[in-house]
């Protein structure tokens, strides 16, 4: 369970925004606590129960409150701290083992905030890959529209995108090849066996797409496989599939040293 904790009016506004974004973009259901009482007791109970905490308040408050129940990085849940204006996201506890660093990167991207890493491996670099699907002979305008929207949703710039990717059935799709060329990005396509390896990570499974091309989702699958291929480690969805009348797009991320 994700608990968003806010102690000020401004923090509550950010918390409400976060709750919606986490559900829509990351598929995470979150509960917002505004000035929970008794504060210390409830925060410690949530932490001990293994809840992920996103605290919109001073880091000192969180540290002093949780100090009595902190165990170790292998068992403690992720704890993030944000300022009430949403400018900074800090993974405070369980950065690596608990996933706080990855979540902080995702939240920062969605809020267009700065992720402040203080752990020993803060030099890990994110690799972003775009996955796309479309109708045959899709007009370039539909492809560029959905691509730009996907980047905006992820809060990243075109310079951060490593490649554009799809299923091998689209290897000769003129619009996709033209888009990749115009953006000076590699265009990679994967077969159904390769795309099927990330099936469990898809935000949704489309039976129609499976019956048509042999996988449950093209854009998300291609993005995930491509990102993992670059770094050799697992990837995650930063933007789940979005679509317009003729195309779909998704963005995945993995980390490399």
Read off the CATH number of the domain in which 76 is found: 3.40.50.11220
pLDDT attached to residue 4: 97
Taking only the tens of pLDDT, the chain with its 257 residues reads: 899 999 999 999 999 999 999 998 888 899 999 999 999 999 999 999 999 999 999 999 999 999 999 988 778 899 999 999 999 999 998 766 668 888 888 888 888 888 887 765 556 678 999 999 999 999 999 999 999 999 998 888 899 999 999 999 999 999 999 999 999 999 999 999 999 999 989 988 999 999 999 999 999 999 999 999 998 888 889 899 999 999 999 999 988 76
Is the Cβ–Cβ distance between 94 and 79 less than 8 Å?
yes
Q: Answer yes or no: is 120 within a domain.
A: no
Q: Note whether 105 and 194 are same-domain residues.
A: no
Count of C-beta atoms within a 10 Å radius of residue 249: 27
Q: Answer yes or no: is 66 within a domain.
A: yes
State which of 52, 83, 115 marks the end of a domain: 115
Going by the DSSP 8-state scheme, the letter that residue 22 receives in this structure is: H
| Residue 188's CATH number | 3.30.420.180
Q: Note whether 110 and 54 are same-domain residues.
A: yes
Number of H helices, E strands in the chain: 9, 11
Q: List beta partners, residue 24.
A: none
Q: Note whether 138 and 75 are same-domain residues.
A: no
User: Side-chain half-sphere of 85: how many Cα atoms within 13 Å?
Assistant: 3
Helix axes 140-154, 100-111, angle to 10 degrees: 120
Q: Answer yes or no: is 72 within a domain.
A: yes
Q: Note whether 145 and 250 are same-domain residues.
A: yes
Largest CA distance in the chain: 61
pTM: 0.59
**Of 177, 186, 154, 158, nearest to 251 (Cα)?**
154
Q: Note whether 41 and 8 are same-domain residues.
A: yes
Cβ partners under 8 Å of residue 200, min gap 6: none
Q: Note whether 153 and 224 are same-domain residues.
A: yes
State which of 87, 115, 143 marks the end of a domain: 115
pLDDT attached to residue 240: 93
Q: Note whether 143 and 243 are same-domain residues.
A: yes
Burial class (CB in 10 A: 0-12, 13-18, 19+), 60: exposed
Q: Note whether 129 and 110 are same-domain residues.
A: no
Q: Note whether 155 and 200 are same-domain residues.
A: yes
Token pair 């002979």 is at which residue? Answer: 137
Q: Note whether 174 and 252 are same-domain residues.
A: yes
244: left (phi over 0), alpha (psi -120 to 50) or beta: beta
Structural domain boundaries enclosing 151? 125-256
State which of 64, 82, 115 marks the end of a domain: 115
pLDDT attached to residue 223: 97
User: Side-chain half-sphere of 141: how many Cα atoms within 13 Å?
Assistant: 1
Is the Cβ–Cβ distance between 81 and 55 less than 8 Å?
yes
**Domain count within the chain:** 2
Q: Note whether 101 and 206 are same-domain residues.
A: no
Q: Answer yes or no: is 39 within a domain.
A: yes
DSSP notation for 159-170:
GGEEEEEEEGGG
User: Cα–Cα distances in Å, from 238 out to 11, 129, 195?
Assistant: 24, 10, 17
C-alpha dihedral, 153 to 157 to 158 to 163, nearest 10°: -70
Q: Note whether 63 and 140 are same-domain residues.
A: no
């Amino acid at each position: 369970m994700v608990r968003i904790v806010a102690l000020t009016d401004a923090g509550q506004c950010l918390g409400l925004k976060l709750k919606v974004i986490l559900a829509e973009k990351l598929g995470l259901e979150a509960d917002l606590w505004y000035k929970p009482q008794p504060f210390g007791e409830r925060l410690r109970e949530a932490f001990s129960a293994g809840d992920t905490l996103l605290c919109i308040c001073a880091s000192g408050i969180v540290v002093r409150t949780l100090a009595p129940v902190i165990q170790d990085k292998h068992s403690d849940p992720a704890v993030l701290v944000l300022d009430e204006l949403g400018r900074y996201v800090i993974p405070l506890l369980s950065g690596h083992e608990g996933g706080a660093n990855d979540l902080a990167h995702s939240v920062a991207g969605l809020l267009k905030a700065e992720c402040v890493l203080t752990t020993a491996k803060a030099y890990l670099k994110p690799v972003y890959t775009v996955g796309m699907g479309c109708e045959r002979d899709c007009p370039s305008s539909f492809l560029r529209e959905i691509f730009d929207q996907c980047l905006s949703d992820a809060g990243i710039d075109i310079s951060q995108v490593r490649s554009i990717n799809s299923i091998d059935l689209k290897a000769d799709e003129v619009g996709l090849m033209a888009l990749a060329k115009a953006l000076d990005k590699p265009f990679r396509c994967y077969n159904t066996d390769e795309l099927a390896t990330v099936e469990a990570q898809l935000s949704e499974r489309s039976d129609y797409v499976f019956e048509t091309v042999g996988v449950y989702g093209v854009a998300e699958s291609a993005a995930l496989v491509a990102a993992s291929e670059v770094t050799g480690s697992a990837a995650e969805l930063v933007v789940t599939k979005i679509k317009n009348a003729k195309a779909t797009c998704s963005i995945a991320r993995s980390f490399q040293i």
